[in-house]
Amino acid sequence: MNTQTRVPGHPIRVRNRYDRMVRDAGGRSRFVPTRTGRAHVVEHGDGLPVVHLHGNNTSSLSHLMLLEHTTAVHSFLVDRPGFGLSDPSDFHRTGLRRHAVGFVDDVLDGLGLESAVLVGASGGGIWSVWYALDRPERVRVVVMLGSVPLLPGARIPVDVRVMATPVLGQLLGRIVKPGRRMLLHLLSSVGEGGTIRRYPNLLDSLVDAAHDPVARAANVAELQAILSPFGTRPEAGIHPDALRKLRVPTLMIWGDHDPVVPVKDAQAVAALVPYARLEVLVAGHVPQLGHPARVAALIEEFAHSIP
């Protein structure tokens, strides 16, 4: 990406709502430079550094509810490229993993962190696992917050696979105007249709993001890199041999009715990872929506339990 060219900006409506929600949650916004542009970070607290990477179709706003329950860590909620308020970046479909690892390298460097606890939700969980595999010396603990779509046993909802379908996904993105009803349907398909209603501002922010051309393009590009119309791309999958090499202490926080990677498959994954702990909550694909206090406590307790 040529950093001298004008970087496409997020709409003012997105920025205004984002800033208001961060202030209301007691967070502080900052930007750090990366090789592909600026990354936006929400910062809160003090103590052991915990870096969050959000999932697709959302931003760091989907982790804000954890901040009021974190008392003993320094949280950094990072907007991945093109999402939230971060600048977009280009990558080749086969180069997403290299792009992801480079981005996290740059963010940790920009924050002045030699290492950190890495919390990844859904698509952000993919990036977190990749980073823990490639840079174990920089990851104190890796947390899978909800299921990771490239794990063995993953079942990708049809709505998401359609988004990843070349031409069709882009065409639907231009024709269909996303609103609350469509997003509630999407969240219901991953078991969170009820819990998202507890966060009307977050739901409104998801509607804003669905109309943000920068975030929409980033989302489609990433989904097409990891998914085909039939499921996960075999070359992108996180396979059992890789999981056996994941030497970083791993906390898996799962929903008991998460449809993307069901609990029985999560148990198989936990058996493969040398040091893994699986915690199952009554939840779908986004456990922090229904259990913000419990999720925050699990992350802090596990992180501080590692010498």
> pTM of the entire structure?
0.93
How far is C-alpha 202 from the geometric centre of its chain's CA atoms? 15
- Reading the chain (307 residues) residue by residue, the pLDDT tens digits are 444 445 679 999 999 999 999 999 999 999 999 998 999 999 999 999 999 999 999 999 999 999 999 999 999 999 999 999 999 998 887 899 999 999 999 999 999 999 999 999 999 999 999 999 999 999 999 999 999 999 999 988 777 766 666 544 555 555 456 788 889 988 999 999 999 999 999 999 999 999 999 999 999 899 989 887 777 888 889 999 999 999 999 999 999 999 999 999 999 999 999 999 999 999 999 999 999 999 999 999 999 999 8
Interior angle at CA 304, CA 247 and CA 104, nearest 5: 55
The owner of tokens 């969240």 is: 187
**How many Å apart are CA 18 and CA 12, to the nearest integer?**
10
* Listed residue (251, 279, 257, 147) closest to 194, CA to CA: 257
Distance CA 244, CA 276 (A): 11
Rounded distance between C-alpha atoms, residue 192 and residue 126, angstroms: 20
Task: Report which of 254, 262, 256 is spatially closest to residue 279, judged by C-alpha positions.
Answer: 254
CB atoms within 10 A of CB 300: 19
CA-only gyration radius of the chain, Å: 18
The contacts of residue 77 (CB under 8 Å, 6+ apart) are: 27, 41, 42, 43, 44, 52, 54, 60, 63, 64
Q: Element (H or E) spanning 41, and its range?
A: strand 37-45
* 298 to 69, 116, 251, 295, 305: CA distances (angstroms): 11, 16, 9, 5, 11
